[in-house]
Structure 1
Amino acid sequence: MIEKIRVGLIGFGISGRVFHAPVMRSIMELDLVKVTARKADQQSLLKERYPHAEIALCADDIFNDTTIDLVVVATSNEMHYPFAKRALEAGKHVVVEKPFTNSVEQADELIALAKEKNLILAPYHNLRFNSDYRTVEKMVKSGRLGRIVNLESRFDRFRNYLRPNAWREENLPGSGIFYDLGPHLIDQALQLFGKPNGVFADLAIQRDHAQTIDNFDCLLYYDNLRVSLKGSMLAKEPTPRYRIFGMNGNFVKYGIDPQEALLRDGKFPDEDPNWGQEDPSLYGKLNIVEEGKDIEEVIPSEIGSYPDFYQNVADTILGKADLIASAEQARDVIQIIELGYRSQLERKVVSVENTLIAY
């Protein structure tokens, strides 16, 4: 008999209903038993898609439920830290949507609290489980590009207007795309190459009447490598998702993992045998010199799988595995973001020195 982990989900907006609830449904060890849903449309959708889950009108209903083992925090960014802290204090394991916290100080406090209580604390860095990133990771590790000298990674969108009543558009702690999209790109860079020596960031507000960062260009400096991370809200024409430059040649990847689009369409991973498989038209192109010959090769994309994140969380809670995405790694991502804001303020490259702890 499979041991069930009872889950409480705080937040049934875009994050909770798109990126968490349908993915958790794929994991046999997880049982989504309670979800905060205050709006009538959220309650209706919850009853339709997860009829066995109880509606909670506030987070306290989840914190105070002694039968819940795991709390998932999928709220606005400013609530990640206080809700994660309260869940840990209530003796629950915790998954926190990115950004993990809005500051390193908050991250360090949560990490210490989780260790004190011997609880699992995991950031939802789900883009490690994208088909495109998994393919890039494979190419970097393959050695076929030779020594890597530069990696460019972009996460672009096009929305030339401001969404009304959207907290992401307001000047709040943790708002703006450097906190929203930046953590994914920074986390991937740290996983591929470890701790950089320095950070330079150019952060901008470009759209009319915008109040928070909607364009970023962040450069990570390594000994013999530069990593360029960029994001824009005004990218109408598709840009390469990744470009890798090595001594032997290049790898270029357009397009993005299909999982988000499927989840937004209401699809469930456990109902699609081809889940996470990219259309071949999006496969990346390798162009290198190999054994003295020019080689051009289409590289089939690896299969993406957000359920792998939650399977790992379940296995870790049950003592069968270690976390793939750890709180310490997420803390280092927040450190890079803080250094990026410092770089923007001082208009110079900022040394990383001994500020990262996980590498």
Structure 2
Amino acid sequence: MASRPYKVAIIGYGMSAKVFHIPLIRVSPAFNLYAIVQRSPTADNDASKDHPDIILYRSSEEMVQDSAVDVVVICTIPTTHFELCRLAMVNHKHVIVEKPFTVTSQEADDLINIAVNRDLFLTVYQNRRWDTDFLTLSKLLKEDTLGRVVEFETHFDRHRPEAPKGGWKTKPLPGGGAIYDLGTHLMDQVVVLFGLPDRITGFVGSQRAHNPEGVDDSCTVLMHYDSGLMATVKAGVVSPEVSQLRYWIRGEKGSYKKFHLDCQEEQLKAGKKPGDPSFGIESEDRAGTLTVIRDGQSTSQPCPNIEPVTYSAFYNDFAKAIDGQGKVPVPVEAKGAMGVIRLIELARLSSKEGRTLKK
């Protein structure tokens, strides 16, 4: 294995690469942005002009022949993930793949076997595990502040009643729609906290009155646990709220409610990056609300986020995994990501058949 910094090649040059990966790679001493695969650069969208120090490849097939590449980051549409992951790994590259991992759980299982057989590291970019509000509520649960949790809601709602125009997300493609896009993040968070559910009920479809392409723009998934916990995953496009609900967790000792999305995506889009002053820090008015039972009465108070770890932790942990040659886990285990894809398959089947399904 090459020594640090590990040379990274990115396949794809859309928002995912520009916002969620390149800024993190650039600030990590463990990685060097070495190459980008962009099939059709344009005058106003040319990776080689934006990053003159990289090698620009026009095809993934050409890039994987470059023996200097250590890690391949796949930032393309979900229908391409399986073939590109396989291409990279059969050419002896470690792989980071954007969510959703794959279109089917069988594809995910096949990729895991390739990684194991070739002694390669494979991980899925589930960056919402490092949302600061998610880590804050995780700390509350770990400390048993809320007691036995019976309801857990995680939302990614927006008010976009008009169907967008253009782009692959507007097409009814395999691996597309709200449940594969935002639902993947939300279901992953539930599984991280509570493990796989025992049963699942899905509602997958469209909230828009006019949806000419027939894209599943919304989803609600109920994840049932034998412990009595009900976890609700919800992503909708008709939600005319001033402040969108993000989390609402209720337990025997208290509750936690939080509005607004984690600010890191917004900051990355604005050109900020980990290490910049205030990166990942939400304003005080966006703090969640913690309610606890004291002397038989409910008492509420603001619950500010813990100190941000930031999305850079994903790349830091991946570097440690490579350094440790398997003694340290990758930041997101591929088997866990496969489990989420299987839940999506069950949720879609549940929605189609109108019944609750066992895991």
TM-score (normalizing by structure 2): 0.93
Deviation at 1:114, TM superposition (A): 0.1
With over 3 angstroms needed to count, the CA separation of the structure-2 counterparts of 1:42 and 1:5, relative to structure 1, is farther
- Give ranges in structure 2 of 5+ residues lacking alignment: none
Question: Which amino acid is 1:227 matched to?
Answer: A
Deviation at 1:292, TM superposition (A): 4.3
Which residue number in structure 1 is paired with residue 302 of structure 2?
Answer: 298
2:28 is paired with a residue whose SS is coil
Instruction: Find 1:219's aligned residue among 209, 219, 222.
Output: 222
Contact 2:207/2:236 (<8 A) preserved: no
Residue 328 (1) aligns with residue 328 (2): no
Which residue number in structure 1 is paired with residue 239 of structure 2?
Answer: 235
Q: How does 1:304-315 map to 2 (within 5 A)?
A: 304-315=309-320
Distance 1:289 1:228 in 2: 24
Deviation at 1:350, TM superposition (A): 0.3
Question: Which amino acid is 1:341 matched to?
Answer: R
Distance 1:231 1:211 in 2: 17
Name the count of aligned residue pairs.
349
- Give ranges in structure 1 of 5+ residues lacking alignment: 353-359
Decide which moves more: 67-76 or 208-217. 208-217
Distance 2:250 2:215 in 1: 32
Contact 1:257/1:304 (<8 A) preserved: no
Deviation at 1:344, TM superposition (A): 0.9
Which residue number in structure 2 is paired with residue 39 of structure 1?
Answer: 41
Question: Deviations for 1:155-205, whole angstroms, at most 9, x for unmatched residues?
Answer: 112323333331111111111011000110111000111121100001112
Residue 12 (1) aligns with residue 19 (2): no
Which residue number in structure 2 is paired with residue 176 of structure 1?
Answer: 177
Deviation at 1:287, TM superposition (A): 1.1
Q: How does 1:208-287 map to 2 (within 5 A)?
A: 208=210, 209-223=212-226, 224-237=228-241, 238-270=243-275, 272-287=276-291
Q: How does 1:59-78 map to 2 (within 5 A)?
A: 59-78=60-79
Deviation at 1:228, TM superposition (A): 0.5
TM-score (normalizing by structure 1): 0.93
Decide which moves more: 294-303 or 218-227. 294-303
Decide which moves more: 7-16 or 286-295. 286-295
Deviation at 1:262, TM superposition (A): 1.1
Question: Deviations for 1:214-247, whole angstroms, at most 9, x for unmatched residues?
Answer: 1111000002100011001222313310000111
1:277 is paired with a residue whose SS is coil
Which residue number in structure 2 is paired with residue 113 of structure 1?
Answer: 114
Question: Which amino acid is 1:350 matched to?
Answer: L
Once the two structures are aligned, what percentage of the paired residues are identical? Answer: 33
Residue 96 (1) aligns with residue 94 (2): no
Deviation at 1:56, TM superposition (A): 1.5
Q: How does 1:193-208 map to 2 (within 5 A)?
A: 193-207=194-208, 208=210
Deviation at 1:25, TM superposition (A): 1.0
Contact 1:43/1:55 (<8 A) preserved: no
Contact 2:132/2:309 (<8 A) preserved: yes
Deviation at 1:304, TM superposition (A): 4.5
Distance 1:96 1:338 in 2: 19
Distance 1:127 1:262 in 2: 15
1:95 is paired with a residue whose SS is strand
Contact 1:34/1:55 (<8 A) preserved: yes
Distance 1:254 1:41 in 2: 40
> What is the RMSD computed on CA atoms of the aligned residues?
1.6
Contact 1:145/1:288 (<8 A) preserved: yes
Question: Which amino acid is 1:195 matched to?
Answer: L
2:318 is paired with a residue whose SS is helix
Question: Which amino acid is 1:340 matched to?
Answer: A
